[in-house]
Amino acid sequence: CGATVITNLFSAIPYIGTALVQWLWGGFAVENATLMRFFSFHFLLPFIVTAAVMIHILFIHQAGANNPLGIPSQIDKVPFHPYFTFKDIIGFLLMMSMLIMLTLLNPYFLSDPDNFIPANPLVTPTHIQP
């Protein structure tokens, strides 16, 4: 299970690694509660990142960027002008349209050819080493 592999990386931390892994798992093995915790985290994380990006863009547009040189920036400062918002929306729409076109026109373009090999339960795949 992916949760076992990822969380076992925490066991490499000296002194507290084993206790940290048991705390993450909620016991001595990965069970249903652990999997539900990880699935919900993986579902919520993209929304949290999107909200953080939107808040970041909002504050950058309101206050302006950092000015470490002390150059007067109030001369041509336009607070949250529609041009900046329009630029960001156009960039987002272009990026999403390119991604959607790639996904809809050629869905297997970024996939791995090994995913199309029929599985044989009697033979271990060659990429899995003992």
SS3 at position 30 = coil
Query: Which of 20-24, 26-30, 93-97 shows the lowest per-residue confidence on average (mean pLDDT)?
Result: 26-30
SS3 at position 80 = coil
Better-predicted residue by pLDDT, 27 or 79: 27
Contact 52, 58 (CB under 8 A): no
At 90 the pLDDT is: 96
Q: What CA–CA distance (Å, rounded) separates 58 from 51? A: 11
Tokens 């790639």 sit on residue: 102
What are the residue ranges of helices labelled H in 1-130? 2-8, 17-25, 32-63, 82-105
Q: How many C-beta atoms lie closer than 10 Å to residue 2's C-beta?
A: 10
| Predicted TM-score (pTM) of this structure | 0.41
Choose among 61, 66, 64: nearest CA to 86.
61
Per-residue pLDDT tens for 102-122?
Answer: 999 998 888 888 778 888 888
Tokens 């547009």 sit on residue: 61
Contact 21, 5 (CB under 8 A): no
At 94 the pLDDT is: 98
